[in-house]
Amino acid sequence: MSKISNSSDDLPAVDFDHLKKFESRINSAISEFEEKQCTGYSYQVIKNIQQEVDQYFLMNEKPDSKEFIDLMTQICTKLNENPIVDSINEQFQRKPSQKYSSYTNYISQPTQDLDIDEEIQIESFVHYKNHQVRYQELDNLQDLNLAKSHSNRSNLQQKLQQLNGNNINISTPAAVESVPTKSDFEIHMEKANSHIKDIEELLDSRKILAANRKVLKIEQILSECEELDLSEQQKKTIEEFKEKNFKLIELIKDETDLINYNLEVLQVEEGWITEKEKGKIKISYQYPDSNSLSLRMESELDLPLRNLLCLGNEFEYFKDYVPFVEEGKLVKDIRRASKIGYACMDVPMVSKRECYFYGTGYNLLDEIGSIPLVSKSIHSDPEFCRKIDLQIPKTTKYVRLEYKYYVFNIIPLGPNKCYVKIVLNVDYKIPLVPKSIQNWCARKFSLYFFERIIKKATNFAGTNWEKAMIKNKEFYDWLESQIQEFLKNCDLTDNSNTLQQAKDKIAVYLQKKKQEQQQDV
């Protein structure tokens, strides 16, 4: 311990109260880790404190007193030996005895050829550089040990040049000062902004559930920020972050709610009555309540997947296969695989019906192994229209029907094979026609509708859909790449097993979501 007595007289005197605050912050980080088990975040906090301790040790007087030595030893012991570091050691299979504090290494690894100030600067500098480059792993100080093994200044200077890419003057503290310490707040906000970038990319890829997990992480980060001792400027930064990203986060939440609602619709198995079975096609119906009818159409299909997706994406050609539709058109393109459409239907014996609807597709291949195409009517949802800046005419000469739900779920089973389930509940607003007659007609036309989908999607040669796929080649190539990437990692030798696994994944996801909601309550 005698080495410490050689501290320089021109360094500031040590502030013991400041050192004790380090110890208090370490204890708080350990308590938070034990409560929330946030290993990555807690380890980042510990490393942040570690850097501050290193810098404080370097830049202040090092008195040869028992109080200073005991306090520094206690702080560094807690930095090296705590549940957070133990967890990281276990994950990265590190040796628990590994130390990574400048102080502890300074005490335990004396150097014969350098004076004290130079040695401390090299240790701290190498330590900081290692943390910059490999901040997710414990610093094993190989670079430090290598630096200490050199016996002359030229070799040390060369080693530091390799680390920093610049000439470093090891005789002054400037090298260490060039690596600033980030506050807990800065680390939090960097993570939050990184998650925002990820969300934007996931939204563009239609991986909404993955984007929603990022939203939850941001909410956790902002909650943790509120527990910090923030300056007024930092509070302002948080408010600006919330305001800037409010619409994006709300969009992800709304899309997630829509996914969850339609997945629950898909999972309903009780109460269905078989209307018709023809080959692999099965048509069922049920009455969710006394005023509505739900229809379900399902089958394994041998046809190109992107043909099916094209049918759902090209609104202009609905009239070529959807019963009673005489006009379909695109109203507004919101983003990739997400847009507003309009359809007008000429239903026999009644006046024409129309509908403004939101049509979108989700890439849930990684989560549940399927691609749901979802539609909902929006002319009775002014809040939704406001969010997408859409003005729908308030007056019309036609009656507007309502979609309670309409989901078209596709589970890939091979490059040209899939399982399709369509579940819908539509109110055509025909109050003068008895419900029994409406329901009978809907049940009979459902088979006709499903067979037309299969017929049209089997071969696009010479059709409007073939032209659309050529015109929007970039979009459909992207669709194909997403499907092929998924199929590459699938076992396609047993389609029945693949199908059951996809169904099980939906059930597991919804069960987990239900448990999370119960915990929130």
State the average pLDDT over residues 216-229.
91
Lowest mean pLDDT among 122-136, 253-267, 391-405, 422-436: 122-136
* CA-wise closest residue to 118 among 253, 227, 202, 8: 8
Instruction: Give, in order, the Cα–Cα distances in Å from 184 to each of 44, 192, 265.
Output: 9, 12, 44
High-pLDDT (> 90) share of the chain, %: 45
Give tens-digit pLDDT for 462-502: 999 999 999 999 999 999 999 988 888 776 666 666 777 77
Helices 142-149 and 116-133 sit at what angle, rounded to 10 degrees?
A: 150
Tell me 6's DSSP state: G
pTM reported for the whole predicted model: 0.65
pLDDT of residue 216: 94
Other beta carbons within 10 Å of 42 = 24
* pLDDT (0 to 100) of residue 181: 53
Residues 471, 473: Cα–Cα separation, whole Å: 6
Q: What is the mean pLDDT of residues 246-257?
A: 95
Question: For the residues 386-410, what does the mean pLDDT come to?
Answer: 91
- What pLDDT is recorded for position 347? 81
C-alpha 266: how far from chain center = 24
User: How many degrees, rounded to 5, is the angle at CA 466 between CA 460 and CA 467?
Assistant: 155
pLDDT, tens digit, for every residue of 328-381?
999 999 999 999 999 999 987 788 999 999 999 999 998 899 999 999 999 999
pLDDT single digits (tens) 23-33: 888 888 887 77
Which pairs count as long-range contacts for 177-186, CB under 8 Å and 24+ apart, including other chains?
Answer: 179/125, 179/128, 179/129, 179/132, 181/48, 181/51, 181/52, 181/55, 182/48, 183/48, 184/45, 184/48, 184/228, 185/225, 185/228, 185/230, 185/234
Most confident of 15-24, 218-227, 241-250, 507-516: 241-250
> Cα(483)–Cα(487) distance, rounded to whole angstroms?
6
pLDDT in tens, 87-115: 766 665 555 444 444 454 444 443 333 34
Residue 39's pLDDT band, with cuts at 50, 70 and 90, is: low
Find out whether 377 and 357 touch, Cβ atoms under 8 Å.
yes
pLDDT band for position 279 (cuts 50, 70, 90): very high
Q: Name residue 121's amino acid.
A: Q
Cβ-count burial of 92 within 10 angstroms (0-12 exposed, 13-18 middle, 19+ buried)? exposed
* Ramachandran region, residue 90 (left: φ > 0; alpha: ψ -120 to 50; beta: rest): alpha
Using CA atoms, how far residue 145 sits from 46, 54, 140, 196, 260, in Å, is 23, 17, 9, 40, 55
Residue range 156-174, pLDDT digits in tens = 445 445 544 544 343 333 3
Mean pLDDT of the chain: 79
Q: Say which residue the tokens 């030595």 belong to.
A: 69
Task: Provide the percentage of residues in the chain whose pLDDT is more than 70.
Answer: 75
- Sequence-distant (6+) residues with CB within 8 A of 79 are 26, 46, 49, 50, 53, 85, 100, 101
Output the DSSP codes for 124-136: HHHHHHHHHH-TT
At 40 the pLDDT is 67
Nearest Cα residue to 142 out of 117, 163, 170, 121 = 163
What CA–CA distance (Å, rounded) separates 214 from 198? 8
Helix, strand, coil percent content, the chain, rounded in steps of 5: 55, 15, 25
* Cβ neighbours for 105, distance < 8 A, ≥ 6 positions apart: 99, 123, 127, 141, 144
Is the model more confident about 429 or about 298? 298
Predicted confidence at residue 340, as pLDDT, reads: 97
Measured between alpha carbons, how far is residue 430 from residues 295, 350, 399 in Å? 18, 8, 9
Residue 376 CB neighbours (<10 A): 20
**Signed CA dihedral, 466, 468, 473, 478: sign only:** negative
What pLDDT sits at residue 89?
65
Rounded Cα–Cα distance for residues 458 and 449 (Å): 15
Q: What is the pLDDT of residues 115-149, one digit of tens each?
A: 434 444 444 444 433 433 333 333 333 333 333 34
Nearest 5 degrees, angle CA 91-CA 96-CA 101? 105
Handedness of CA 376, 379, 381, 385 (dihedral sign): positive
Quick one: tokens of 158?
């060369």
Beta strands in 136-184 (DSSP E): none
Q: Is 472 helix (H, G, I), strand (E, B) or coil?
A: coil
Residues 259-288 have a mean pLDDT of 93
> Look-up: residue for tokens 């401390």?
120
